[in-house]
Chains A and B, each alone.
Chain A
Amino acid sequence: MTDMIELNQPAEDDHLVRDEIRRISKSVHARRVTTSRVMMVLCGVALLIAAVPLVMLIAELVKNGLPVLNKAFFTTEPQTPTLIAPNATGGVSNAIVGSLALTAYASVLAIPLGILVGVYLAESSSKLASTLRVIAQTMAGAPSILMGLFAFSFIVHDLNIGFSALAGSFALAVLMMPVIIITTEIAVRNVPNSLREAGLALGARSHKVSLRIVLPSALSGIVTGAILAISRAVGETAPVLLVIGGGFTNQWRPLDPVSSLPLSIFENAKSQWPSQRLQVWGVALVLVAFVFVMSLTARIWASRKQQVRN
């Protein structure tokens, strides 16, 4: 005890150190404060710079795309302009029909299986589960063109189905599945354990607890994940580019080639006809509007369910 007291007896030269510290600190103070202010301003500038492309992009989309959107745009099939009729572009009904078909088929393929695997990952602690989890996370970040290559090899070539909506849907389904798996697993894991325990305590068997209690509770999270996956699939060009074949008519049958909204943008962006390039802005606007609405819906839904839970 006495050792401690001795540690802190003030010595004669103590204040010399303190004075030197104070002296140096006073001399650099102004510079430190200025540096801090400058750096914080630079960070703010970075934020503004980051915002600029978004603002510009949306402005261009609305400015160029809005005028193009009329009834004919949505309901007629496309035409190729000619020298006599340089503005005869027709509409994009083929792409709309195609996108709807592709998304529908892909959802049917991906969502049930994705949910199954997501639930499996949430409820199993086996080696298979942890491996599949890593696989799902890896594939979620994989370049989407690889899905197109896969669909080409498998559907178009091996199964000899050729360029078709089915091939495109397959590629999109492979794209959507990892997203659904990951979000479903999170949703199921987030169900409070107390619910599971309550169910078991009432004598229900574990699988009934999962089906009747856990899954309904996780439903909103699962739906959010599905919305996000669909939103992503609608906007993808690369996976379908290689395998759907395109076309100008309102085709939707699984074994026929189809078009899609992003594909029509890709094809016509470099068109020699200004009227077609202008129409492309309209398609882009529709696409972006759709994706924004889906993302916002998912976000609002998720946060509202979170509030209810809290």
Chain B
Amino acid sequence: MADIQSKTAATESTNRGPIAMQLRDVAVSFHGRTAVRDCTFDIAKNRVTSLIGPSGSGKTTLLRALNRLHDLTPGAKVTGQILLDGVDIYRGNITVTELRTRVGMVFQRPNPFPTMSIYDNAVSGLRFNGIKKKSLLDEAAESSLRSAALWDSVSSRLKVSASNLSGGEQQRLCIARALALDPEVLLMDEPTSALDPVATLRIEELMTSLKSRVTVVIVTHNMQQAARISDDCAFLLMGEDRAGELIEFDTTEKIFNNPVDSRTLDYTLGRFG
């Protein structure tokens, strides 16, 4: 009881402005075995929200529920409510395809489509959704590649295969690919963990600049990264029943300097992995 009170108290204490997505008692289970539960918090618009916690705490599982990627997995069950602009993404009046054009995703390892050029990769989302008009495609390509800080280096070689880019550039291409559909929310699953420090830094800068365009939700196992770039923070931890649960949600400032739960403090001080 005290936990829920402290969580909702934390949620109300700061007015973050308009809300992009709301989670209420969200839990994900696979073949009956709970992977993550008790997730209740709001993702505010145009801010970076990070999901942090040690491995196994269910952060990625929770993230993937936000664009219904678990629909792919047989035996996966998502309970609770996830609202996008007030509409329940699982039970409400919104199709999966429409949801995914409004909530985009970037993955841990850069995964541009290997048989497509840079241009084709960037506009692949639009093409999937039936957009063929060249002017629209060109505009979206340029806009998204600029937003991903990639335009200057690739504008002269748009027809080149995406495999020619470096790791960091490939990841930025994946970001551009997701941005081309102009989503409201961008989910990022440990986007820099496969990259070198220089590329990581560039992408962190990018994320900070992106939040004026999209709402960013990022999973990261790197606390310092969360502290650097996120505005709000959700801390998850694996419980005794081997299910992850939300321990605390608040502004990053509060989580790292003055958390309510002792476990949060232990984690941010590096007392356990």
A and B touch in the complex (CB under 8 A): yes
Q: Which residues of A are interface residues toward B (Cβ below 8 A)? A: 1, 4-5, 7-10, 14, 17-18, 20-22, 24-29, 31-33
CB proximity of A251 to chain B, nearest CB, Å: 58
Contact A4 B209 (CB under 8 A): yes
Using known A-B contacts A21-B182, A29-B95, determine if residue A9 contacts B140 with beta carbons closer than 8 Å.
no
A24 to chain B: closest residue by CB: B131
A26 to chain B: closest residue by CB: B98
Interface of chain A: mostly helix, strand, loop or mixed:
helix
| B residues less than 8 Å from A32 (CB atoms) | 97, 129-130
Contact B101 A14 (CB under 8 A): no
Most buried by B among A1, A5, A27, A31: A5
| B residues less than 8 Å from A4 (CB atoms) | 149, 205-206, 208-209
Contact B129 A24 (CB under 8 A): yes
Q: Mind listing 18 A-B residue pairs with CB under 8 Å?
A: A4-B205, A5-B208, A5-B212, A7-B147, A17-B143, A17-B182, A18-B182, A21-B101, A21-B129, A21-B140, A21-B181, A21-B182, A24-B131, A25-B101, A29-B95, A32-B97, A32-B129, A33-B95
Using known A-B contacts A20-B136, A25-B131, A29-B98, determine if residue A7 contacts B209 with beta carbons closer than 8 Å.
yes
CB proximity of B214 to chain A, nearest CB, Å: 9
| A residues less than 8 Å from B126 (CB atoms) | 21
Contact A28 B130 (CB under 8 A): yes
Q: Which one, B101, B139, B211, B212, contacts A22 given CB within 8 A?
A: B101
A31 to chain B: closest residue by CB: B130
| A residues less than 8 Å from B133 (CB atoms) | 24
A22 to chain B: closest residue by CB: B101
B187-220 residues with Cβ-Cβ distance < 8 A to A are 205-206, 208-213
- Beyond the given A4-B206, A29-B129, could you list 14 further A-B residue pairs with CB under 8 A, ordered by the A residue number? A7-B146, A7-B209, A18-B182, A21-B129, A22-B101, A24-B130, A24-B136, A25-B129, A28-B129, A31-B130, A32-B97, A32-B129, A32-B130, A33-B95
Contact A8 B182 (CB under 8 A): no
| B residues less than 8 Å from A21 (CB atoms) | 101, 126, 129, 131, 136, 140, 181-182
A23 to chain B: closest residue by CB: B131
| B residues less than 8 Å from A5 (CB atoms) | 208-209, 212
CB proximity of A115 to chain B, nearest CB, Å: 40
| A residues less than 8 Å from B181 (CB atoms) | 21
CB proximity of A110 to chain B, nearest CB, Å: 42
| B residues less than 8 Å from A26 (CB atoms) | 98
Closest 4 CB pairs of A and B: A28-B130, A18-B182, A25-B129, A4-B209
| A residues less than 8 Å from B140 (CB atoms) | 17, 21
Q: Which one, B129, B130, B210, contacts A8 given CB within 8 A?
A: B210
User: A95 to B146, alpha carbons, bound, how many Å?
Assistant: 76
| B residues less than 8 Å from A27 (CB atoms) | 130
A36 to chain B: closest residue by CB: B97
User: A32 to B130, alpha carbons, bound, how many Å?
Assistant: 8
B95 to chain A: closest residue by CB: A29
CB proximity of A5 to chain B, nearest CB, Å: 5
B102 to chain A: closest residue by CB: A22
User: A31 to B181, alpha carbons, bound, how many Å?
Assistant: 19
| A residues less than 8 Å from B182 (CB atoms) | 14, 17-18, 21
Q: CB-CB contacts of B89-100 with A at 8 A, as 1s and 0s?
A: 000000101100
A25 to chain B: closest residue by CB: B129
A5 to chain B: closest residue by CB: B209
User: A4 to B146, alpha carbons, bound, how many Å?
Assistant: 9
CB proximity of A146 to chain B, nearest CB, Å: 38
Using known A-B contacts A7-B209, A24-B130, determine if residue A17 contacts B146 with beta carbons closer than 8 Å.
no
Most buried by B among A4, A22, A26, A33: A4
CB proximity of B182 to chain A, nearest CB, Å: 4
Contact A17 B136 (CB under 8 A): yes
User: A7 to B211, alpha carbons, bound, how many Å?
Assistant: 11
User: A9 to B97, alpha carbons, bound, how many Å?
Assistant: 27
User: A22 to B102, alpha carbons, bound, how many Å?
Assistant: 9
Using known A-B contacts A14-B182, A21-B131, determine if residue A8 contacts B97 with beta carbons closer than 8 Å.
no
Contact A8 B95 (CB under 8 A): no
A20 to chain B: closest residue by CB: B136
Using known A-B contacts A10-B213, A21-B129, A21-B182, determine if residue A1 contacts B98 with beta carbons closer than 8 Å.
no
User: A101 to B209, alpha carbons, bound, how many Å?
Assistant: 79
CB proximity of A151 to chain B, nearest CB, Å: 47
User: A33 to B98, alpha carbons, bound, how many Å?
Assistant: 12
B88-122 residues with Cβ-Cβ distance < 8 A to A are 95, 97-98, 101
| B residues less than 8 Å from A10 (CB atoms) | 212-213
Using known A-B contacts A4-B149, A21-B182, A24-B129, determine if residue A29 contacts B143 with beta carbons closer than 8 Å.
no
B129 to chain A: closest residue by CB: A25
CB proximity of B62 to chain A, nearest CB, Å: 26
User: A31 to B129, alpha carbons, bound, how many Å?
Assistant: 11
| B residues less than 8 Å from A14 (CB atoms) | 182, 213
